[in-house]
């Protein structure tokens, strides 16, 4: 498969496609029309065709999509065909919730290690995940070969912990802190700012009141 540059917007839709294909598969549906597919995922058919085109032609005119073929395809694209271990750094309220939150219910992601500075939870198991001391962050990430981390530390610690994670080999950081992290070009930071999401929503609702 050619490694063409895939737009970020396309990439963000891939898990949506994948999830719906799984639902269809569970319902023993083997073929789906492009219009039904579009309606279910709430993305217009032209966008879907364009998205799919980055990975080669995946539909046939007048036939629709072959569910099993697409599913195998996206499984590979999204690395769902093997388990991905990630680490969670910062076991506060929100971090704890993410440990409980079942990422791998319909995905292949597993939180394999958590890190914190609180002595009372270091060396305990929280929601089936071992909690290590922050002092061991670099060595544990290296030893467990974890290159994707979830950052849920307080804002004031964010950049420092981010630097340590990168030293430990992190190449991807899902950043739940409000801090805009500085990082080398080969490390991808994905920001999830829940306050921001809520404020944006409120802005739209109040603006068009």
CB of 135 to a second copy, least distance (A): 25
Interacting positions 98-157 with a second copy (CB under 8 A) = 98, 100-101, 103, 105-107, 109, 147-148, 150
Instruction: Please state the separation of Cα 17 from the chain's center in Å.
Output: 14
CB of 61 to a second copy, least distance (A): 25
* Interface segment toward a second copy; rule CB under 8 A; list 25-33, 61-69, 158-166, 191-199: 191-199
Q: Distance between CA atoms of 112 and 130, rounded to whole angstroms? A: 7
Contacts of 159 (CB under 8 A, 6+ apart): 179, 181, 182
If one asks whether residue 185 binds a second copy (CB under 8 A), the answer comes out as no
Strand order through the sheet with 31-32:
31-32, 64-66, 59-60
* Interface segment toward a second copy; rule CB under 8 A; list 28-36, 48-56, 63-71, 90-98: 90-98
If one asks whether residue 194 binds a second copy (CB under 8 A), the answer comes out as yes
Interacting positions 6-45 with a second copy (CB under 8 A) = 11-12, 14-16, 18-19, 40-42
The burial class, CB within 10 Å (0-12 / 13-18 / 19+), for 139 is: exposed
# of chain residues touching a second copy (CB under 8 A): 58
Interface pick for a second copy out of 21, 96, 114, 137 (rule CB under 8 A): 96
Residues in the chain: 209
Q: Distance between CA atoms of 33 and 38, rounded to whole angstroms? A: 9
Helix (H) or strand (E) holding 44: none
Is-contact 41 78, C-beta < 8 A?
no
Binding site members for NAD(+): 90-95
> Under the rule (CB under 8 A), what is the footprint of a second copy?
3, 11-12, 14-16, 18-19, 40-42, 77-79, 84, 86, 93-94, 96-98, 100-101, 103, 105-107, 109, 147-148, 150, 171-174, 178, 180, 186, 188, 190, 192-209
């Amino acid at each position: 498969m050619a490694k063409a540059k895939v737009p970020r917007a396309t990439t963000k839709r891939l898990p949506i496609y994948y999830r719906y294909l799984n639902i269809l598969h569970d319902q023993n549906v083997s073929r789906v029309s492009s219009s039904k597919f579009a309606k279910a995922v709430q993305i217009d058919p032209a966008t879907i065709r364009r998205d799919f085109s980055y990975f080669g032609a995946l539909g046939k005119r007048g036939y629709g999509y072959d569910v099993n073929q697409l599913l195998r395809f996206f499984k590979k694209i999204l690395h769902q065909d093997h388990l991905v271990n990630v680490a969670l750094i910062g076991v506060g309220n929100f971090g704890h919730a993410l440990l409980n939150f079942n990422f791998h219910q319909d995905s292949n992601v597993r939180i394999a290690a958590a890190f914190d500075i609180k002595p009372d939870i270091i060396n305990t198991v929280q929601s089936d995940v071992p909690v290590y001391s922050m002092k061991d962050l670099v060595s544990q990430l290296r030893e467990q070969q974890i290159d994707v981390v979830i950052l849920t530390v307080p804002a004031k610690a964010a950049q420092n912990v981010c630097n340590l994670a990168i030293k430990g080999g992190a190449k991807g950081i899902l950043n739940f802190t409000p801090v805009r992290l500085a990082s080398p070009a080969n490390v991808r930071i994905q920001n999830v700012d829940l306050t921001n999401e809520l404020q944006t929503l409120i802005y739209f609702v109040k603006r068009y009141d």
